[in-house]
């Protein structure tokens, strides 16, 4: 990997970010120079900025700390894998916390002007015509977080070292936007801001072939499938007088369906018949199926997110 020629190289100075086009089949490496620096990250479809990385979707599929072997997903209705985490030498990333913002530093610390991820992202994205409203929830690289209670999460100090890096393989053409997190008054980057090295390389055929296969499903829709495909160009919201609702499954029709169970399946059903369900066999069956699905396809699995 390191012997490969770099197609692009850049040093992110503290207080800055950089918008970097990464074509499908290329790898963006984000590397520590001194160590101990958090990097916030945004990612857009290079040809349609309305599709971008969705931290909620990614968190649901891969858990709170996506690392090597997981995907960066876009949100519904696209729900595509935009990038694949090919390598992660430190292994501590976060999708629990939002980007830090100017308001955070003023309200919590009294700084009315302070480096912050939102404003750095906005300035970096401006090179490609995006506005401050286009900055999305960040994927926080080299950020050590943990769930500290039933309703709380905390940030802890980190010990990433010089040379630690995350390699993101683009599965489609993207605009990747990493920035040096502006938090020097928190444990996020151990109370100081340090530079970060960026480079783009071509992936090998073997690396591309090694990406787990993700099924392409009919429910993944693009603007070609939208009833309204154009982007609204003004800011005021007004009702369309010609609007007629066309919800896909409305009105809801409920039909009883007979299901034949094997003896083994029937035993599972009996075992799952908690008081919660009373005599409702169908509810118990749905719970069994959901548990089966959850165990196979939710957080912590290899990344394959759907039943094929």
Identity of the residue, 15 or 21, whose beta carbon is nearer to Zn ion in the bound complex = 15
Task: Report in angstroms how near the CB of residue 140 gets to Zn ion at its nearest.
Answer: 8
Of positions 28, 55, 85, 117, contacts Zn ion by CB under 5 A = 117
Q: How many residues interact with Zn ion (rule CB under 5 A)? A: 5
Contacts of 8 (CB under 8 A, 6+ apart): 20, 198, 199, 200
> Which residue stretch of 63-71, 111-119, 155-163, 256-264 sits at the interface with Zn ion (rule: CB under 5 A)?
111-119
Build a one-symbol-per-residue string for 261-300: x at contacts with Zn ion by CB under 5 A, - elsewhere.
----------------------------------------
Residue 49 CB coordination number (10 Å):
16
Identity of the residue, 193 or 285, whose beta carbon is nearer to Zn ion in the bound complex = 193
Identity of the residue, 39 or 285, whose beta carbon is nearer to Zn ion in the bound complex = 39
Task: Report in angstroms how near the CB of residue 143 gets to Zn ion at its nearest.
Answer: 9
Distance, in Å, from the CA atom of 162 to the CA atom of 37, rounded to the nearest integer, reads 10
DSSP string covering 135-157: --PPEEET-EEEEEETTEEEEE-
> Which residue stretch of 41-49, 97-105, 223-231, 251-259 sits at the interface with Zn ion (rule: CB under 5 A)?
97-105
Q: Does 183 bind Zn ion (CB under 5 A)?
A: yes
Q: How many C-alpha atoms does 5 have within 13 Å on its Cβ side?
A: 1
Task: Report in angstroms how near the CB of residue 180 gets to Zn ion at its nearest.
Answer: 9
CB burial readout 50-86, b (16+ within 10 A) else e: ebbbbbebbbebbbbbbeebbbbbbbeebbbbbbbbb
Of positions 181, 186, 214, 284, contacts Zn ion by CB under 5 A = 181
Task: Report in angstroms how near the CB of residue 115 gets to Zn ion at its nearest.
Answer: 8
Q: Does 100 bind Zn ion (CB under 5 A)?
A: yes
Supply φ then ψ for residue 201, to 5 degrees: -130, 160
Q: Which helix (H) or strand (E) holds 291?
A: helix 281-297
Burial bucket for residue 256 (CB in 10 Å: 0-12, 13-18, 19+): exposed
Where on the chain is the footprint of Zn ion (CB under 5 A)? 100, 117, 181-183
């Amino acid at each position: 990997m390191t012997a490969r020629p770099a197609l692009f190289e850049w040093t992110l100075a503290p207080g800055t970010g950089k918008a970097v086009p990464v074509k499908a089949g290329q790898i963006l490496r984000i590397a520590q120079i001194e160590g101990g620096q958090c990097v916030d990250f945004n990612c857009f479809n290079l040809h349609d900025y309305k599709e971008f990385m969705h931290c909620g979707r990614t968190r649901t599929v891969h858990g709170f700390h996506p690392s090597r072997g997981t995907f960066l997903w876009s949100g519904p209705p696209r729900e595509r894998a935009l990038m694949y985490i090919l390598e992660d030498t430190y292994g501590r990333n976060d999708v629990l916390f939002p980007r830090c913002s100017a308001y955070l530093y003023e309200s919590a610390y009294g700084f009315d002007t302070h480096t912050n991820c939102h404003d750095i992202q906005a300035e970096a994205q401006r090179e490609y015509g995006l506005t401050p409203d286009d900055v999305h929830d960040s994927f926080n690289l080299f950020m050590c977080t943990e769930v500290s209670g039933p309703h709380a999460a905390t940030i802890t100090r980190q010990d990433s070292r010089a040379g630690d890096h995350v390699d993101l393989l683009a599965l489609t053409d993207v605009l990747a936007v990493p920035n040096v997190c502006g938090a020097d008054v928190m444990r996020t980057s151990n109370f100081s801001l340090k530079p970060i090295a960026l480079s783009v390389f071509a992936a090998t055929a073997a690396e591309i072939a090694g990406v787990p296969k993700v099924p392409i499903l009919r429910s993944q829709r693009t603007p070609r499938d939208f009833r309204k495909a154009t982007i609204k160009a003004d800011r005021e919201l007004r009702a369309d007088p010609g609007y007629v609702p066309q919800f896909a499954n409305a009105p809801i029709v409920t039909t009883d369906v007979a299901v034949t169970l094997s003896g083994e399946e029937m035993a599972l059903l009996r075992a799952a018949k908690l008081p919660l369900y009373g005599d409702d066999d169908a509810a118990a069956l749905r719970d069994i199926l959901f548990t089966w699905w959850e165990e196979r396809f939710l957080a912590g699995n290899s990344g394959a997110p759907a039943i094929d």
